[in-house]
Amino acid sequence: MQLDTIIKGGTIVTATDRFEADIGIEGGRIAVLARNLEDAPEIIDAAGLLVMPGGIDSHVHLDQPGSPGIVMADNFETGTRSAAIGGNTTVLPFCLQAKGQTLREAITEYERKAEGNCYVDVAFHLIISDPTPQVLGQELPALIEEGYTSIKIFMTYDDLVLRDREILEVLDVARRHGALVMVHAEGYDTIRFLTDQLEREGKTAPFFHGPSRPVAVEREATHRAISLAEIVGTDIMVVHVSNRQAMEEIRRAQQRGLAIYGETCPQYLVLTEKDMDRTGMEGSKYVCSPPPRDTDSQLACWEGLQQGVFEVFSSDHCPYRYEDEAGKTNTKGKTSFRYVPNGIPGIATRMPILFSEGVGRGRISLNRFVALTSTNHAKRYGLYPRKGTIAVGSDADLVLWDDKKKVTITHKLLQDGCDYTPYEGIEVTGWPVRTIMKGRTVMEDGVVQKRKSGKQLKRTLPRTKVF
Ligand code: URP
Ligand code: ZN
Ligand code: ZN
Ligand code: ZN
């Protein structure tokens, strides 16, 4: 065996283990794990560092068109560059079906945008906004067979909302073909009702984004989504859960033996509704959906991560520039929070925030950190064991982590296409110092290599057991 690269002297951490070993890499894959490996053209010194599976962020939006005139701040190049800065080696963005478009047209469009432009590997989820008989009967089953094994659906937003009947139909196709449906659980009519009411009262500042979609809106939709999944007899992933009541809906379903999975995100651990309460449009920098809540909601999200109610921790990176005609403040003379595009950036800050606030403060173990940021994403979305672990035969996708490095988060470090970070000024301990994908360094000490060797991954059905 002629190794290409040896990663020497680090502490290897997986979702289940922690041990000292060198990693021998050959042809982009892990060839051997052993002590005292020698003899390779490239030796990377990992002494004093943690060596973990590269991050997998299974919820990111890149180059996705918003409402007319609104442009996403990251394309595949800038988004995956920032992902590499944050220790990620795989991201799962969404391929959005516009109304009237076939799924095949949507996929062709997104794959063209991604091709040759990615620093890390990518695999697409589908967003279905137009579940025509053709989509449900022919396209979707064929695409699931091809490896597009996860589908996001929305219970709100004018351009995306599905009626309950349509949700049932999508869930049923997913059940029959073994795909997983990710649900954005917020109720359409309740949000419309409250938004109209707030506007009539002149409550239009970004802060009122929160009151337009209170906890009950999310809890009701979460309960309904779970009920619909139960009626069809299939699994769902409830994404971006923000609060205790929604978390408890999922926990109750799990306790009843249903295969309901949960995801939460950094914004629900470290931001609150108070962040949206700033002068002028400044609060729009924190407008995402569901909105950040209160400190008890943060505690509930931690509980969900600790107790296994949530199995994945994703960024929901969905960046819009602040100082930009086509971004957060593009209200075209319309000043209501209603027109602020929903979503915030976070692809680079996801792992450092969970590490510092979670592992650093004793809330989660190092193994749980790896499960939540990498392994469980690979298992749930059909990429395991090629991705998400450190094992012989797996892709050599690794992050070298300095668990003592102190960093004050500031936008300039993140190298994304946005013009701010909602986490500006937050101090973290623990930072990715090197990102290695398929055996080659993508990022070292904040410098991203020029080569864009990220590829589109084929996935299997998401059926591996997650813990
Ligand atoms: O506010 C958010 N989360 N925007 C991104 C789209 C979504 O719903 O995930
Ligand atoms: Zn099938
Ligand atoms: Zn969503
Ligand atoms: Zn999202």
pLDDT number for residue 290? 98
Please tell me the residue having the least CA distance from ligand 1 atom 6.
Answer: 343
Cα atoms found within 13 Å of the Cα of residue 207, Cβ hemisphere only: 9
Neighbours of 363 (CB within 10 A): 16
Q: How confident is the model at residue 67 (pLDDT cuts 50, 70, 90)?
A: confident
Query: d(Cα 385, Cα 404) in Å, to the nearest integer?
Result: 29
The total number of structural domains in the chain stands at 2
Residue 458 within any structural domain of the chain: no
Amino acid at 263: E
Query: Do residues 246 and 134 share a domain?
Result: yes
Query: d(Cα 92, Cα 388) in Å, to the nearest integer?
Result: 13
Which ligand 1 atom is the nearest neighbour of the CA of 342? 1
Residue 463 within any structural domain of the chain: no
> Is 0.90 surpassed by the pTM of this model?
yes
In 3D space, the residue among 182, 174, 209, 175 whose CA is nearest the CA of residue 195 turns out to be 209
**Is this prediction's ipTM beyond 0.85?**
yes
Does residue 214 contact residue 190 with C-beta atoms inside 8 Å? no
pLDDT number for residue 324? 81
pLDDT number for residue 390? 98
Task: Note the ligand closest to the C-alpha atom of 237.
Answer: 3
Of 368, 383, 399, the last residue of a domain is 368
Query: Do residues 130 and 92 share a domain?
Result: yes
pLDDT number for residue 361? 98
Query: Do residues 68 and 48 share a domain?
Result: no
CA distance readout (Å), 288 to 315, 413, 451 = 12, 22, 33
Q: Which domain holds residue 435?
A: 5-52+391-419+426-448
Query: Do residues 414 and 343 share a domain?
Result: no
Which ligand 1 atom is the nearest neighbour of the CA of 318? 5
pLDDT number for residue 467? 54
pLDDT number for residue 315? 98
Residue 405 within any structural domain of the chain: yes
Which ligand 1 atom is the nearest neighbour of the CA of 154? 8
- Sequence-distant (6+) residues with CB within 8 A of 188 are 155, 156, 157, 161
Report the mean per-residue pLDDT for the chain.
Answer: 96
Residues with CB under 5 A from ligand 4 (ion): 316
pLDDT number for residue 458? 87
Q: How confident is the model at residue 462 (pLDDT cuts 50, 70, 90)?
A: low
* Joined tokens for residue 434: 């090197």
Task: Note the ligand closest to the C-alpha atom of 221.
Answer: 3
Query: Of all residues in the chain, what percent carry a pLDDT higher than 90?
Result: 93
> What strands lie across the sheet with 50-53, from one edge to the other?
18-20, 11-13, 50-53, 398-408, 427-437, 440-444, 447-448
pLDDT number for residue 143? 96
Q: Domain with 233 in it: what CATH number?
A: 3.20.20.140
Query: Do residues 116 and 256 share a domain?
Result: yes
How far is ligand 4, taken at its centre, from the CA of residue 157, in Å? Answer: 12
Residue 380 within any structural domain of the chain: no
**Which residues, judged by CB distance below 6 Å to any ligand atom, belong to the binding site of ligand 1?**
61, 184, 240, 288-289, 316, 318, 342-343
Query: Do residues 310 and 339 share a domain?
Result: yes
Query: Do residues 45 and 98 share a domain?
Result: no
The per-residue pLDDT for range 5-40, each reduced to its tens digit, is: 999 999 999 999 999 999 999 999 999 999 999 999
Q: Which long-range contacts (CB under 8 A, 24 or more apart) does 169-174 make?
A: 169/131, 169/136, 170/128, 170/131, 170/136, 170/140, 171/228, 171/229, 171/232, 171/234, 171/236, 172/232, 172/234, 173/136, 173/140, 173/141, 173/144, 174/144, 174/234
Kind of pairing, strands 50-53 and 42-45? unpaired
Residue appearing with tokens 């094994």: 149
The per-residue pLDDT for range 417-434, each reduced to its tens digit, is: 999 999 999 999 999 999
The per-residue pLDDT for range 108-123, each reduced to its tens digit, is: 999 999 999 999 999 9
pLDDT number for residue 24? 98
In 3D space, the residue among 156, 214, 208, 162 whose CA is nearest the CA of residue 185 turns out to be 156
How far is ligand 1, taken at its centre, from the CA of residue 123, in Å? Answer: 18
In 3D space, the residue among 305, 342, 335 whose CA is nearest the CA of residue 320 turns out to be 342
Kind of pairing, strands 18-20 and 42-45? unpaired
Judged against a pLDDT cut of 90, whether residue 464 lies above it is answered with: no
* Joined tokens for residue 19: 């041990």
- To test ligand 1's pocket by mutation, which of 184, 318, 350 has the most ligand atoms within 8 angstroms of CB? 318
Judged against a pLDDT cut of 70, whether residue 466 lies above it is answered with: no
Query: Of all residues in the chain, what percent carry a pLDDT higher than 70?
Result: 98
Amino acid at 32: V
Amino acid at 259: A
Query: Do residues 35 and 167 share a domain?
Result: no
Query: Do residues 220 and 291 share a domain?
Result: yes
Query: Do residues 148 and 259 share a domain?
Result: yes
In 3D space, the residue among 374, 355, 371 whose CA is nearest the CA of residue 363 turns out to be 355
Residue 288 within any structural domain of the chain: yes
DSSP-derived 3-state class of residue 303: helix
The residues that bridge with 180 in the sheet, in sequence order, are 150
Does residue 341 contact residue 66 with C-beta atoms inside 8 Å? yes
pLDDT number for residue 332? 63
Query: Do residues 135 and 175 share a domain?
Result: yes
- To test ligand 1's pocket by mutation, which of 288, 312, 314, 337 has the most ligand atoms within 8 angstroms of CB? 288
Judged against a pLDDT cut of 90, whether residue 334 lies above it is answered with: no
Please tell me the residue having the least CA distance from ligand 1 atom 5.
Answer: 343
Residue 352 within any structural domain of the chain: yes
How far is ligand 1, taken at its centre, from the CA of residue 285, in Å? Answer: 13
Please tell me the residue having the least CA distance from ligand 1 atom 2.
Answer: 343
In 3D space, the residue among 34, 25, 45, 52 whose CA is nearest the CA of residue 435 turns out to be 52
Judged against a pLDDT cut of 90, whether residue 158 lies above it is answered with: yes
Query: d(Cα 87, Cα 400) in Å, to the nearest integer?
Result: 8
CA distance readout (Å), 438 to 73, 194, 215, 449 = 28, 49, 42, 14
Residue 457 within any structural domain of the chain: no
Query: Do residues 304 and 401 share a domain?
Result: no
Q: Domain with 399 in it: what CATH number?
A: 2.30.40.10
Judged against a pLDDT cut of 90, whether residue 82 lies above it is answered with: yes
Residue 150 within any structural domain of the chain: yes
Query: d(Cα 407, Cα 410) in Å, to the nearest integer?
Result: 9
Judged against a pLDDT cut of 80, whether residue 96 lies above it is answered with: yes
Average confidence (pLDDT) over 297-323: 97
DSSP-derived 3-state class of residue 2: coil
Q: How confident is the model at residue 371 (pLDDT cuts 50, 70, 90)?
A: very high
Neighbours of 442 (CB within 10 A): 29
Nearest-5° angle of CA 223, CA 225, CA 230? 95
pLDDT number for residue 326? 83
Average confidence (pLDDT) over 269-283: 96
As a dihedral over the C-alpha atoms of residue 453, residue 459, residue 464, residue 466, rounded to 10 degrees, the angle is 50
pLDDT number for residue 351? 99
